[in-house]
Structure 1
């Protein structure tokens, strides 16, 4: 692969700046098996990403319009999406057949199981993309690294928050959460709201980050230990996870998700006013504090356990497929999708950009009504956060979790048995 001269992407960004201002462009092209095609000198690069609804799809298309202007007329970007629940199943099939799209999204917490699908990114590849490591803090890049090798570039960085319905707190006569809240204060508030309003104080989850956050915060432990080994049966973690399940079966402060297929159950409970609190990612911070909601929403960092404040750094990004025949063009697209112009769009859409220079744009774009609350939550939430540890078995564990959790919430099995089942099936 021949790298472009240094600054190629920056020059193109200037040359096509006027095109970006015009708005969304129309694209139609058919990619070959490796996510490329060539027609009359134009190369099509397929960009494969997850998307759950029309709104998120439009956000991606708005990002693509800017990226398209940056790479110019010699390259056409074609967006292909799948729901999060199906994305990795389809990616596994594409890997087996050698048909991974040239630019493919990857969640940092699942990267370990997919490194063979991606081109390692050294200085030569980064130069072609027009991206520097200095554009990021080390923690942001680490989510796309495995064994000290960089396999992709992050487009966002995230952690987990506790979101709350301020109206229900006021109705119950309970003080609002703070960034100094403890697990005990969280549980007490959930019980009081449930008792005083008839509305559940919390909504548990079956999604991995959403449900794991409170047990991790309570125990101060991650389900993968410092040695990279699965540690779901660590007694302290089991105790904390059991407490979480008991929020449904014993405390009664949460209803139970009806099935493992209901991955959006907890956000729906919260947005419909049927639960006063949920745990979700910073990527939804503007959604849950939007002025259009029928209540006033707020956010704080995760409540602290006995070991003190706890947080994990999360993130997702894009990589270039190892099987891509047009790697140079794909690297240009990668650079455009993760560069400062698209980072600005992500910030304006409510995402927290990965690049340091773009992060202030997120807070500038916030409505005045939520700016102070979210700025305080982000400052507290990222303070001292560490990367969530995963290993080669983690994707399988995360895929199997929902069915186990539904049984626990229904009172059909214990949390200890569910964690033992996962540990025995997937530990190496």
Structure 2
């Protein structure tokens, strides 16, 4: 792969400068906060008052406080920020009496939001992930939304059930899922043509992927398959082998199990034989960029690739198919985040109305059109029209796919898995040694 090493030398400095892009450019859950979270176990929601009829389309979900002014914050690059600026404009049309000030925090969102919360300056409405839910809900810093939902005619049943698990605490709903994503097999048809092999199909297995990646690496100047040491993109491999990162009650890690280690060894063998590369090996900051720059034949990425490729590499032909099948099943990883309300807001009704609108069918239908993410309402899955986006989305609906949540210390467990993979890639430890260490580290975390 002469092209790979040539580009690595040429773009080394660029890689170092852009390394940070591997975070938000690939919308996976954020890194865990340094502060120790309070232990939270998700619970089933208690029955609430039956919701009223849904608010009419084009009507504010709730009667709001006169002269309400609220601040809304979230992470995200310019693409995501535009999506929510557009959402705010739509909200203004149905709730003209509410002024929304949008203050995005693209970097270190969790750390900055926690500092704002401690200082009493946190926004009224903000993104909530599993770590912020863990930190804020038990402390009474998030506003329960159930009564507002009932008044607005919104039910928990309106949402994909698994997405609400993270945002339920002691029977109450503290966040409404704003979107969800999953992974698919993204590839360049040109690489397959040059290698003289057939393109991927929906009945592919990981073994099929490996064979194709090896052929591409040996017969072309493309890297075969791109995957960094990353817990999120490792998860489908594990799930498809019947594994998980922790038990269902989040009390015990499962990192030192055959289901996990077999797939780690499979990936390491691909790396050692040259059929798998990391993004930095080919001069890219993340594997999606490696597709855009036509440096690799395949990778695992999500629906965010639709906008990314459209905006940055409009002339590059790419396709996507369903995630490959593993030894025991076909399964994918699901990412989700929510919108929550600051319990200290001066305008709880306006803030709740904004949250309900952002996550409504009406607004989510508009977001789906952009290709940014999928609606959290199960009856809107067919709104995905881009064929690549639709192929990727199907992975999240597989019966054995799982939401990326392993308990209140999810972020720490994820980080432990990533570091275990890093040690394996570097050959600092064998798979057995690295995941034995990961098991011990994760056990300490889950016991906190």
Q: TM-score if structure 1 supplies the norm length?
A: 0.79
Number of the residue aligned with 1:24: none
Number of the residue aligned with 2:29: none
CA distance in 2, matches of 1:381, 1:166: 24
Matching residue within 86, 95, 107 for 1:62: 86
* C-alpha deviation, 1:239, in angstroms: 2.5
1:125 corresponds to 2:148 = yes
CA distance in 1, matches of 2:133, 2:332: 20
Number of the residue aligned with 2:198: 175
CA distance in 1, matches of 2:405, 2:415: 16
Matching residue within 55, 58, 64 for 1:13: 58
1:47 corresponds to 2:72 = yes
Superposed CA offset, 1:356-379 (max 9, x none) = 34433322xx3xxxx3x5545544
- Specify every segment of 5 or more residues in structure 2 that has no aligned partner in the other structure, as ranges: 1-48
1:280 corresponds to 2:301 = yes
1:237 corresponds to 2:260 = yes
- Cα 1:227–1:114 shift into 2, 3 Å: same
Number of the residue aligned with 1:92: 114
Superposed CA offset, 1:19-66 (max 9, x none) = xxxxxxxxxxxxxxxxxxx9xx532211111112x2332222112211
Contact 1:258 1:406 in 2 (8 A): no
Q: TM-score if structure 2 supplies the norm length?
A: 0.76
Matching residue within 308, 315, 322 for 2:329: 308
Matching residue within 342, 345, 363 for 1:342: 363
- Cα 1:246–1:80 shift into 2, 3 Å: farther
Number of the residue aligned with 2:211: 188
* C-alpha deviation, 1:188, in angstroms: 0.9
CA distance in 2, matches of 1:289, 1:45: 33
Contact 1:289 1:296 in 2 (8 A): no
- Cα 1:394–1:381 shift into 2, 3 Å: closer
Matches within 5 A, 1:377-416: 377-379=392-394, 381-384=396-399, 385-399=401-415, 402=418, 405-416=421-432
Matching residue within 231, 240, 243 for 1:208: 231
Contact 1:210 1:281 in 2 (8 A): no
CA distance in 1, matches of 2:287, 2:104: 23
Contact 1:160 1:311 in 2 (8 A): yes
CA distance in 1, matches of 2:384, 2:228: 27
Count of aligned pairs between the two proteins: 386
Superposed CA offset, 1:277-326 (max 9, x none) = 11122343554588953432111222111112112333222111233332
